[in-house]
Structure 1
Amino acid sequence: MREKLLKLFNKKNKWTLEELRKEMVTDSSSKLVSLMKTLNSLVAERKLINNHACYFPVKDEDVVGKVKDISKFEISVSNPEKKVYVEKKYAQNVFVEDEVLAVKEKGVWKVKHIFAHNIYRITGYFIKLKGRLVFHSDIDFHRDFEITNLNQFKINVNDRVVVKVIKYDNPMLVEIEKVIGNNKEKGVDITALLMKNNIRMEFNKKVEEEIRNLPAKVTSREIKSRRDLRFLQTVTIDGEDAKDFDDAISITENENGYSLYVHIADVSYYVKEGSSIDKEAYARGTSIYVCDRVVPMLPVELSNGICSLNESVERNTITCQMEINNQGIIESYLIYPSVIFSDRRCTYNKVNECLNGNEAAIEEYASLQKMIVTMYDCAKLLEKQANKRGSIEFVSVEPIIELNKKGKAINVTLRESGESEQIIEQFMIAANMCVANYMDDNNIPSMYRVHMEPDYEDLLKLKNICANFNIDVTIEEITPSIIQRLLDSIEDESVYVAISNVALRTMQKARYSNECLGHFGLSLAQYCHFTAPIRRYSDLVVHRMLRKYLFDNFQGNKEKDYSKIERQALQMSNKEMEAIIVEREINDYKIAEYMESFIGDVFEGIIVSVLEFGFFVQLDNSAEGLVAARTLFGYYEYEEKTMSLIGPRRTYTIGNRVKVRVTDVNVSKGQIGFEIV
């Protein structure tokens, strides 16, 4: 019946149910039921559309995807294969995250059907209008709201709430789910954004009960069952405001090179699989870091307490001990349960100051000077090997958003990465390499971090954009070293930032898998995440497999673990993506809040993306805004091959440095509008 139905739609575009019933000769109730089931199945698969008057097909050239709000003028409709842009006047007042059908008519993309709404929670606050309290949503949904349970709450003006959608209508039927606080209170706005994105922020009573039964310190019995490394000089190196310490370092120098010890918090010893703490950690997947707080994967009693490698206390760890020669090659390694004593909690800034010769910092870290130099020398050798194998170094722009006492953004700067950050990065990569090598070579079930080779079509876009700057790049047999050589060849800073951005977007997204498929960006055949089990569930899975198969020498059937990790890997990949999206949304919101006070001011920036409706400019503080094509003088034509807007007087392309004026800011959407000066 399915194939026959689809053939009918090749003959005629629109069919009523009655016409289909007659055509399919459904003269019995069973055949009619079969027809309805098949039609419903094709609608669910987005092969057909039912507008309640008739059925019509989704064509190959149409786009079924989710809506994203791009600017005050456009939305995007995208799926994993394609993304198109629709002017809002052709968008049928769709909501963000709606699943829709976009059709191209006379060269213009239009939304023609809404399959499903995907927003279930809405944040906003109450205002007084004509003497009564009215709910004002943070995002304009083009309709009023009817709150079904308002009389159950004592609501004041400016109280911020989360409402749950009961029915999409006009007015939209909603009920208050939670009162977050008043707009005047610090952090209420960010709490609202986290709740809107369904971020889990509270731990349930079962978790709290389990926490109370956890030990506060390492016992003598535990020390006897582990390798005692308390004699080693051991430090942690983290940011100034860090409170959870996953990793600590010890290092000694010898005539052959270095013995490097990467100690990782033994979270799997305390968080047992299937426990309430474990179930909650699995549901969260990762800690989330935003400008005013951390939403932890584990309760703070664990993440900042017994699992954290705090200064001047003994802690249970899993150590990866590596023997590294004078060329930076890891000749051998051991992985084992251990106990350490962290001698010093160091910060990136202070270690950088020591390496830069700051006398005050050197005096403060006097007992660590030899160790710091040894770590630096060892890391440089590891970095040399990484460069040799072709590991790609992308420029990442990470904003630091400074808030005042009321929680308002008052400054945005860029996070700078110094030598100490590079030291820790090299050491963590080395440990992750060794653990992945052990798991893969010994056929032990594990969760791997995989990064596949980029698609040819995406590489072609990179090649075409490079051609704008007379840079030739070979993409037929792409390797990481080719990408790195491309980046190394660019001398102009603006062009480097732009090409690096394009190259990064060309890459496929890294994900988790139960298969060892290699990591393209690091140019490694084997890689996993082992070094951050306090904040990543993926690492906790790896620790559990190490304990089960290496430390406890399990010899049973592995298939159950392979299947379980396959499911876990999908969950962790999804939770990681959700965390990235919400972190980016909150950053955009706070950056827009900061830039709102600069409306009318002029800045310089780099064009980082060009689309048919305009181009995005990134300022030196990382703020991004849209220069809409309609604001440019004259007619501009979009050339997709080179991602350029070509006009009568000039061409705008990725990498151009331009002067822009801030024209408008939509804080709630995190959007900034620019115009060319």
Structure 2
Amino acid sequence: MDQTFEKRKKVILDFMSDDLYVPMKAKEIAVILQIPGEQRSELKEVLDALVAEGKISISKRGKYSREHAVRLKGIFQANARGFGFVTPEDGSGDVFISEENLCGAFQGDEVEFIITGTPSGRRREGKIVRIVSHTVVKVVGMYEKCRSYGFVRPDNQRYLNDIYIPEGKEMGAVTGHKVVVELFSYGGEHMKPEGRITEIIGHINDPGTDILSVVMDYGIPHEFPEKVLNQAERVGKDVSDADCAGRKDLRSVRMVTIDGEDAKDLDDAVSVEKAGENYLLGVHIADVTNYVQERSALDKEALKRGTSVYLADRVIPMLPEKLSNGICSLNAGEDRLALSCIMTIGPAGEIIGHEIAETVIRVDRRMSYTGVAAVLAGDRKAQEEHGEFVPMIFLMKELSDRIRERRGKRGSIDFDFPETKVILDEKGKPVDIRPYERSDATKIIEDFMLMANETVAEEYYWRELPFLYRTHDEPDEEKIRKFSTFINNFGYHIHIRNEVRPKEIQQLLGRIEGTPEEAMISRLALRSMRQARYTPENTGHFGLAAKYYTHFTSPIRRYPDLQIHRIIKENLRGRMNEERIAHYAEILPSVAEQCSSRERTAEEAEREVEKMKKAEFMRDHIGEEFEGVVSGVTKWGIYVELPNTVEGLVHVSDMRDDHYEFLEDRYELAGQHTGKVYKLGQTVRVRVTDADKLQRTVAFECV
């Protein structure tokens, strides 16, 4: 039967390959090929199979034609509303896939697809023709018992269907358990995916289960293998005289750490002195590579994780706590091994000279951002508490201002959006949410770290050694042109010649500062930017207007920093021979790709936890009214952000005073009868109508 079916497919394909063939319906094909009436249902099966394989296509009028489109490969990303997108492997823009063209694709699948059209002014549209491989093996969700079987409702809304759990595959789970499901069938057009439960995370009401579910859904390793823990225990010994041999001894240099009050992994210390009219700035970074040797169990686990992940109630570290909070943490009063970048900086904030050295240091005082900011604000009590360090703090501020001014002159873009601080009680319930603003203290450390990162990147670029850079490409041309057109509505413009320069964006942000449209235009400018990533090639950092940039300052929590520390140390020790150069040239592309990927995963998990806790917090505020700012405008409604950074949607179906039309070029929703307009940056008053912790959404209505 299969052979006959395949022969019929070949006959149809040969028939359609004729140069004289024109699109025609199944009935017309049957007549020309002299297929009897009783076999025409079989012909339809053959035609439908060829359509599903992408070898022929069918028009809206039911006419079949030979498919000559080029097949491309990419990764499928589903949308909760039923459609999806494919990210092509060639790096070109995402392709829209309508619900009828999914071909049964599952979130994360590697697929083959064809381009079916490019509507004017919109993204390309396509059709999936083959599933190459399934990349998602495990899914996290909530189990629901149903007679002898059960279902798991996935936490991630991109998994469009519940997962069927046959009898005997539920591992003792009961309704309300958060579980991990291993898929053994991905379903089809009329079938749900099927799987077996492999782990019970906990009951939905148990403290911490919600966040742990997000961690496991994103595949973030949250426990260290015993082998890794044992190795950390062995290497995490106190600094000995032998460890200090051959290192520059900076233990007599006054230096401090400045971090958040609850930080435990302190991987950077700073020292500042005046040398005539110049400044001597030392940025001293924990020498993690002394304890994490290449190819060791610790190293492989660190690369696998790529980064530490900071969530509302926990930190999932890249390295075991024995190292990250122990011997690698620059704790005050204790000898520590470091890699130091000591820079001589002129009165205009320019680098005059620098030295990169292996050092041994001893931090004199642990300081907090809050304490340093209070000193700079003139708080008497804070100044008395910091005593002899107060002059150093003011010297830091003086140098920071000069560095920042110089960076601003070259066009560095400074997006100053508040971060969110979620306060949880002992049961993991959010009791407060507030914006976490940058202070003068955080800016000081930021400026010093940026200076060290640029200095190290420039030196190793000119040394022409294999290296990892932190790069940020120029904005997408189409996005920046749309942005330019939009801001013209408000009387602003940016010059776009063959390219846009960061100084143009920076000057625009300066012009809108303090205006009603500041938040709106700043957000749109940020959205037009590309994502920064790690690469072995130095292509510069657009946002910082920097020709050379790397990540040197956080090897406890970022693997790229750890990687370049190895290269720097081998170079300082004269070991960077041809063999080692070839070794790093070979491994760095995959290291860069892994680190960029893990960084994106960590950021997504952090965002999801934040959204979940915000929705949980707003459950207690349903019915209450707040003033907020329109932060997004779409055809399905407006997003409104409250002062505490919670964002919710006012759906068009809840805008009952008029019928609203989406004006895409102006980012506005306009009422057709009342003339009422909602636009980005506008202040509105809203009432909370719903908050769904599982969906991680908040719903508003305008009042």
With the shorter chain as reference, the TM-score category is: 0.7 to 0.9
Q: Which residue is equivalent to 1:209?
A: 230
> Is 1:495 matched up with 2:517?
yes
Shift of 1:620: 1.6
Taking structure 1 as reference, are residues 6 and 252 closer, same or farther at Cα in structure 2, changes over 3 Å only? farther
Greater shift, 493-502 or 7-16, is seen at 7-16
Counterpart CA distance in 2 for 1:460 and 1:6 is 47
Q: Which residue is equivalent to 1:31?
A: none
Counterpart CA distance in 2 for 1:392 and 1:6 is 60
- Of the three residues 306, 309, 323, the one matched with 1:285 is 306
Shift of 1:139: 5.6
Counterpart CA distance in 2 for 1:224 and 1:520 is 41
- Of the three residues 224, 240, 254, the one matched with 1:233 is 254
> Is 1:565 matched up with 2:593?
no
Q: Which residue is equivalent to 2:486?
A: 465
> Is 1:641 matched up with 2:643?
no
> Is 1:586 matched up with 2:609?
yes
Shift of 1:555: 3.1
Counterpart CA distance in 1 for 2:589 and 2:336 is 31
- Of the three residues 291, 297, 300, the one matched with 1:276 is 297
- Of the three residues 161, 164, 184, the one matched with 1:145 is 164
Read off the aligned partner of 2:588 and give its amino acid letter.
Answer: I
Counterpart CA distance in 2 for 1:184 and 1:563 is 48
SS across alignment from 1:337: strand
1:341-490 paired onto structure 2 within 5 Å: 341-476=362-497, 477-490=499-512
Q: Verify the 8 A CA contact 1:15 1:55 in the aligned structure 2.
A: no
Shift of 1:75: 5.7
Taking structure 1 as reference, are residues 283 and 168 closer, same or farther at Cα in structure 2, changes over 3 Å only? same
Q: Which residue is equivalent to 1:35?
A: none
Q: Verify the 8 A CA contact 1:182 1:188 in the aligned structure 2.
A: yes
- Of the three residues 175, 178, 183, the one matched with 2:196 is 175
Read off the aligned partner of 1:324 and give its amino acid letter.
Answer: I
1:235-254 paired onto structure 2 within 5 Å: 235-254=256-275
Q: Verify the 8 A CA contact 1:235 1:343 in the aligned structure 2.
A: yes
Where does structure 2 lack aligned partners over 5 or more consecutive residues?
1-9, 34-48, 59-63
Shift of 1:9: 11
Q: Which residue is equivalent to 1:34?
A: none
> Is 1:121 matched up with 2:138?
yes
Q: Verify the 8 A CA contact 2:151 2:165 in the aligned structure 1.
A: no
Shift of 1:267: 0.8
Taking structure 1 as reference, are residues 575 and 56 closer, same or farther at Cα in structure 2, changes over 3 Å only? farther
Shift of 1:361: 1.3
SS across alignment from 2:140: strand
Counterpart CA distance in 1 for 2:406 and 2:182 is 53
Taking structure 1 as reference, are residues 215 and 493 closer, same or farther at Cα in structure 2, changes over 3 Å only? same
Shift of 1:97: 4.7
Q: Verify the 8 A CA contact 2:150 2:165 in the aligned structure 1.
A: no
Q: Verify the 8 A CA contact 1:49 1:56 in the aligned structure 2.
A: yes
Q: Which residue is equivalent to 1:36?
A: none
Q: Verify the 8 A CA contact 2:106 2:186 in the aligned structure 1.
A: no
Q: Verify the 8 A CA contact 2:141 2:180 in the aligned structure 1.
A: yes
Counterpart CA distance in 1 for 2:55 and 2:537 is 33
Read off the aligned partner of 1:145 and give its amino acid letter.
Answer: Y
- Of the three residues 544, 550, 568, the one matched with 1:522 is 544
Counterpart CA distance in 2 for 1:150 and 1:96 is 23
Read off the aligned partner of 1:350 and give its amino acid letter.
Answer: G
Q: Verify the 8 A CA contact 1:487 1:500 in the aligned structure 2.
A: yes
Shift of 1:623: 1.5
Read off the aligned partner of 2:574 and give its amino acid letter.
Answer: D
Counterpart CA distance in 1 for 2:274 and 2:682 is 48
Q: Verify the 8 A CA contact 2:161 2:193 in the aligned structure 1.
A: no
Q: Verify the 8 A CA contact 2:258 2:269 in the aligned structure 1.
A: yes
> Is 1:164 matched up with 2:185?
no
For residues 578-626 of structure 1, the C-alpha deviation after alignment (integer angstroms, 9 at most, x for no partner) is: 1111111111111111122222322222222222332322222222222
SS across alignment from 2:512: coil
Q: Which residue is equivalent to 1:653?
A: 679
Shift of 1:237: 0.4
SS across alignment from 2:564: helix
Read off the aligned partner of 1:278 and give its amino acid letter.
Answer: D
Taking structure 1 as reference, are residues 148 and 5 closer, same or farther at Cα in structure 2, changes over 3 Å only? farther
Q: Which residue is equivalent to 2:85?
A: 77
Shift of 1:103: 7.2
Q: Verify the 8 A CA contact 1:14 1:56 in the aligned structure 2.
A: no
Shift of 1:304: 0.7
Taking structure 1 as reference, are residues 15 and 209 closer, same or farther at Cα in structure 2, changes over 3 Å only? farther
Counterpart CA distance in 2 for 1:570 and 1:503 is 26
Counterpart CA distance in 2 for 1:470 and 1:485 is 14
With normalisation by structure 1, the TM-score equals 0.86
For residues 534-571 of structure 1, the C-alpha deviation after alignment (integer angstroms, 9 at most, x for no partner) is: 11111111101101122334232523322321221111
Counterpart CA distance in 2 for 1:566 and 1:210 is 27
Taking structure 1 as reference, are residues 365 and 509 closer, same or farther at Cα in structure 2, changes over 3 Å only? same
Alignment size in residue pairs: 648
SS across alignment from 2:282: strand
- Of the three residues 264, 278, 284, the one matched with 2:285 is 264
1:326-337 paired onto structure 2 within 5 Å: 326-337=347-358
